Chain A
Amino acid sequence: MKHLKVTTSVLALAFVGLTAMSCKDGKKEEHSDDAMNTEMSSEEGHHHEEGMEHDEMDESNNTMNSEAQASDVKQVMADYMSLKDALVATDKDAAAKAGKTLESALRGLNISSYTAEQQKELKDIVADATEHAEHIGKSEMDHQREHFKTLSKDMIDMVAITGIDSKMYQMHCPMYDGGSEWLSMEKEVKNPYYGSKMMGCGKVEKEIN
């Protein structure tokens, strides 16, 4: 009888102890995540510093600065395109990876050369898009596609303000979630919302540039 009591209490305590440990592990993970974020933002910090140097070097002339910012936008677009391609290929891991890269590109985006009104709009767009990219970085395929829809809307609105020098197509899929848009560099329809299930669903809605 005594044995039974002791064993039960040990088991109970072991359980509590283990839960405590697993909780701590969870915290640790979060911390290392944080550490990574700081690393990333410090990289971005360098990025910004470079931008500032440009400012100091050439205060009267803003071209350098806005050129750098145009390449920032280009980078965001390039990351968006790799995300789109991963979704076309129905590759969850590649999409998650592209989502994370896009997230850090968005966080590093410098918009100081635009007018106050444009900046306000861009800030809203970037805040929203960053959140979607973040979610895509840690979600299952169907969620990734849900977020990709709103992200695409953000990207379309962003390009409308910043402009972009490469040729792009705004595509429309009438079936996904009551009609959804996406951007592509090529004219051929490759549907990121359905992948191989319905690769050809959609049409070119608009040519950009």
Chain B
Amino acid sequence: MKILKIIALIFLVAFITIQFFPIELNQSDTVPKTDFLLVNTVPETIQKKLEVSCYDCHSNNTEYPWYSKIQPAAWFLEDHIKEGKAELNFNEWDDYSDRRKNSKLKSIINQIKDDEMPLESYTYIHGDAIFSADEKEEMIQFMEQLRDSL
């Protein structure tokens, strides 16, 4: 019993200690001119869906949930956002060359088609981020149109 107590104490101390390692928050008040929604004519439904389902990890501004203040959840989120932004940042859309826009759109279409995006770990908590069959169809069609117009 004594050993268990000691182990518990160690874990408690460890848990408290890791709370002192803050993360760098992905937050920005301004939307740059290069933003996807600014440079393209995007229907309102699509715009909303992109903001709800994609922008948390694929832009310079994340709406953080309450548990993002608690470690180790915060690290987990930080990693995902970093990775997501490196892959595609909707805020920097117009900085991409046409060739890369084309590649990105192709990836967007494929990932939505295959239900790979949004990530399951994200939709688990953000239920409204999930794509219905109709929304999927609409989004893919829009992205394909945009690709053809490049």
Contact = CB atoms under 8 A, between A and B. Distances in A.
Q: Is B a genuine binding partner of A? A: yes
Interface residues of A, number: 24
Interface stretch (B42-50, B53-61, B68-76): B68-76
A16 B1 contact: no
Interface in B1-36: 1, 4-5, 7-8, 11-12, 14-15, 18
By DSSP majority rule, is chain A's interface helix, strand, loop, or mixed?
helix
A23 B79 CA distance: 9
B110 A146 contact: yes
Contacts of A14: 7, 11
Please classify how large the interface on chain B is, using the bins under 10, 10 to 19, 20 to 34, 35 or more: 20 to 34
Contacts of A50: none
Interface in A93-135: 124-125, 127-128, 131-132
A127 B11 contact: no
B103 A132 contact: yes
Interface in A74-103: none
Given A26-B79, A27-B79, A128 B11 contact: no
14 contacts: A6-B1, A16-B11, A16-B15, A20-B18, A26-B79, A27-B75, A124-B98, A125-B99, A127-B100, A128-B103, A131-B100, A146-B106, A146-B110, A150-B106
Interface of A: 3, 6-7, 9-10, 13-14, 16-17, 19-20, 23, 26-27, 30, 124-125, 127-128, 131-132, 146, 150, 154
